[in-house]
Structure 1
Amino acid sequence: MFKFLRAASKRLGTADREFVRWSATFPRTAADPALKRLTMLADHSKLWFALAVALAARKGSTRRAGLRGVAAIAASSAVTNLLAKPLLPRRRPATDLLPEYRRLVAPPGSSSFPSGHAASAAAFTTAVCMESPAAGAVLAPLAAAVAYSRVHTGVHWPTDIAVGATIGIGVGLATRRWWPVRPSAPGLARPSEHVAKLTEGNGLAVLVNASSGNPGHDPSAELTDLWPAAKVLRLDADGDLVEQLHRNLDEAGDKIRALAVAGGDGTVAAAASAAAVRGLPLAVIPVGTLNHFARDLGVWSPQDAARALAAGSAVHVDLGTVRVDGRPQRWFLNTASLGGYPDMVRLREKWEHRWGKWPAAAAALVRVLAKAEPITVRIDGLPRKIWLLFVGSGGYQPKGFAPSWRPNLHDGVLDIRYIRADLSLSRIRFTVAALTGALFNSRTYVQEERDRLHVEVLSKPVALACDGEVSATGRAFRFAARDEALRVYRPEDPR
């Protein structure tokens, strides 16, 4: 085996030298100084960090691409510089193999194997391509040019480049283990047969929360242009939105055939609650900051909602309900939670625009668990101590500590996740498992799917948060999945 490896290494070394000598015969062109400038620009990944900033300037897939690219660069640099280079040292090419005008003034003195520049270029481009294939296709030639520039300037052998690029591609793809790629397709849902077709807005009530989304931007004028005959409802943000909405709809009588809502997830959840009780189809107009439900639905703009309303195109979606201490049930559209989960979401959303969603989620998790107090409960009769409990309306992905989207909007289940506090060193064990991608091998993490859940709190009363808003405090919580409880407008060809 060792003889075979030595022979293979010798053959690769010979091929490396032959390639460099062949490269040295290239005629002098304007590409020579350009490649020198490019290779220096890529030092310490300056080029890629600048491109990441440019990508992050736009919301959506390009921003996620830039943030994922930075994470991939950090991981690939650690692998190449902290592991591979010290373990597999190699001399760089002799300076006399290339003409002087192609050499760097201050060539690096570290190990030649593998190429950190090639690893960073490949890692960044691979990560960007996973979130935005169009942006990745534009960057791929630049990444290839950076990789080749290291051979052209005489600081790396071709095999250094090949291995470095392989490491970078592998690291870029591996980011999916901790940071899953959100699918572009919306969640599955069963089409509804009969909903009102509304073009001018006759029979449409529109609930507008002007405080959602961009500060100072009131979407009312745009919505009036889309539906001039619609009845616009403005509610007191400090009051109970559901009660106010029911009161306004009662006053309108039978004139209202559909309800539309423009706001964040909390406002959308209030509208969904009223629409479900009254049997009205709901149109979601994404103007909020996060628009989780609208993204799951496949409605990306007010124009998408307008197309669906005009065509009378809608789907059935599930909702969740919860009764607190026997009081009337509350509906939730996305999630409900007990314990520190609302604080974790709040911190994640505060930090994610700077760090990216998954690094922010990890930091928020550590912060919340460090300060959390365990809750003594019975979960369907099973005694437990937990740090926090998450209940999703429908099965969420990914199956880890930061559920983000639903591939199916009518699966008839609750997604139940909690962190146990009745095991030794549970917080540390959970955090390590989450950060290393080994969560499902940890006894501290429980994830189940069922249609009902009963939680009895045996310690002091705790607060319940529904769709990010604290809604009630109590000791007995009965959750249930309501199959296809709501009809929601969605274009026939959601993007």
Structure 2
Amino acid sequence: MPADRPADPESAAAHAPAAAEQPADAHAPADAQTSDGRGVLLITNSRAGTSVVRPDPLPELRRRLPHARIESLGDSSMDDVVASAMSADDAPTVLAVLGGDGSVSRAAHLARRHGLTLLVLPGGTFNHFARAAGLDTVDIALDAYAAGAVRSVVVAEAVIDDGEPVTVLNAVSIGAYPELLAEREKRTSLGKWWGGAIAAWREIHGAHRITIVRDGRRAVVWSVFAGLGRNDPRRIAMMRRASLDEPVLDIRLHHARGTRLRAVTSLAFGRRTLALMRALRLMPPASDLERAVVSEIELTVRPGGATPVLAHDGELSDTPADGYRLRLRAVPDGLRVYAR
């Protein structure tokens, strides 16, 4: 698999958005919107960010967006809430979401489908996309909305076999990271940090190798990461994108030549954690890693004994147990979002 293969933006641009979605500029321009919440559908996810202690943002949201329609996710899915709002006479032009990366990713997919501008209000544990967009706090995001600071950003689309394209904002991963997430999900009562620590310990002893095939070439790997935009070449686990407008996928393959311990420590993505893992010589050597920068990629995935799951933007998706075809492509100007 060639390393640092040049991107082909024309190939990515040649594909139109999925039929169920509208172009990112299909809605009214930002300067036609008011700053008091008129035309805003705000969806909150109370389950997001439970491991972080922060003041309740809803009073401030109601004060600054007095005319917004506010819905809290309960028994209804986000898809149903948005579909119901779009069928009303006063359909929204802006979809705002208060939640973590998983909620934001789903909201981005629905914003593209219905031709809405996305307003991201960081309310999760990590808020990778919000931070990449310069929206470190709810107040900063509201300031961007009040200023009408809208820009088009690159997204990715992931397709499993012949399924519908799914919008991706940060990264897609198969292998060790989805396995670790699945283990952590079994221990939600312990919180993300303790649950993650126990999951990592179990993965050190039980991570599975998976087989992938690309362009007729076979490789056995611990993990595959595909992040949006070129990222730090020293990283393997790329959770937070480095660019909002570079229409490429930065692919990292961790070949399964080393130990399970290195397979798990390679998933470290915090700067301090990475520095510590390198100091302890627990990170895999450069010879075990492979990188490609492309506008689109297709892989055949054979999970073997691994749990057949895929992760995108921190959320898990089930995949066929006997293997599947995964196609990813970068979509230029795929989403309009308020950003700094």
Range into which the TM-score falls when normalised by the shorter chain: 0.7 to 0.9
Instruction: Summarize deviations over 1:104-159 as a string: whole Å, max 9, x none.
Output: xxxxxxxxxxxxxxxxxxxxxxxxxxxxxxxxxxxxxxxxxxxxxxxxxxxxxxxx
- Counterparts in 2 of 1:222 and 1:432: CA distance versus 1, 3 Å: closer
Contact 1:321–1:330 (Cα < 8 Å) also in 2: yes
- Counterparts in 2 of 1:459 and 1:295: CA distance versus 1, 3 Å: closer
- The partner residue of 1:272 within 108, 115, 126 is 108
Say if 2:79 is the partner of 1:247: no
TM-score w.r.t. the length of structure 1 is 0.52
TM superposition shift of 1:399: 2.9
Contact 1:275–1:281 (Cα < 8 Å) also in 2: yes
- Counterparts in 2 of 1:264 and 1:351: CA distance versus 1, 3 Å: closer
Higher relative contact order (CA 8 A, sep 6+): 2
2:218 matched to which residue of 1?
383
Say if 2:140 is the partner of 1:304: yes
TM superposition shift of 1:218: 5.2
Contact 1:398–1:405 (Cα < 8 Å) also in 2: no
1:329 matched to which residue of 2?
165
Structure whose residues are more often helix by fraction = 1
How far apart, CA to CA, are the structure 1 residues paired with 2:139 and 2:176?
Answer: 37
Say if 2:296 is the partner of 1:452: yes
- Counterparts in 2 of 1:341 and 1:430: CA distance versus 1, 3 Å: closer
Say if 2:335 is the partner of 1:489: no
Structure whose residues are more often strand by fraction = 2
Structure 2: gaps (5+ residues): 1-24, 267-273
2:287 matched to which residue of 1?
443
Contact 2:263–2:284 (Cα < 8 Å) also in 1: no
- Give the partner amino acid of 1:416: I
**Secondary structure of 1:403's partner?**
coil
TM superposition shift of 1:312: 1.0
Contact 1:323–1:478 (Cα < 8 Å) also in 2: yes
- Counterparts in 2 of 1:198 and 1:289: CA distance versus 1, 3 Å: farther
Contact 1:318–1:484 (Cα < 8 Å) also in 2: yes
- The partner residue of 2:156 within 316, 320, 337 is 320
- Give the partner amino acid of 1:463: V
Contact 2:222–2:263 (Cα < 8 Å) also in 1: no
Contact 1:426–1:444 (Cα < 8 Å) also in 2: no
**Secondary structure of 2:88's partner?**
helix
- Counterparts in 2 of 1:230 and 1:399: CA distance versus 1, 3 Å: same
5 Å-filtered alignment, 1:405-420, equals 405-420=240-255
- Counterparts in 2 of 1:443 and 1:275: CA distance versus 1, 3 Å: same
How far apart, CA to CA, are the structure 1 residues paired with 2:262 and 2:48?
Answer: 38
TM-score w.r.t. the length of structure 2 is 0.73
**Secondary structure of 2:162's partner?**
coil
Say if 2:236 is the partner of 1:401: yes
Q: CA RMSD in A?
A: 3.4
1:463 matched to which residue of 2?
309
Contact 2:57–2:138 (Cα < 8 Å) also in 1: no
- Give the partner amino acid of 1:290: F
Contact 2:310–2:316 (Cα < 8 Å) also in 1: yes
How far apart, CA to CA, are the structure 2 residues paired with 1:369 and 1:447?
Answer: 24
Identity level (%): 30
Higher-Rg member (1/2)? 1
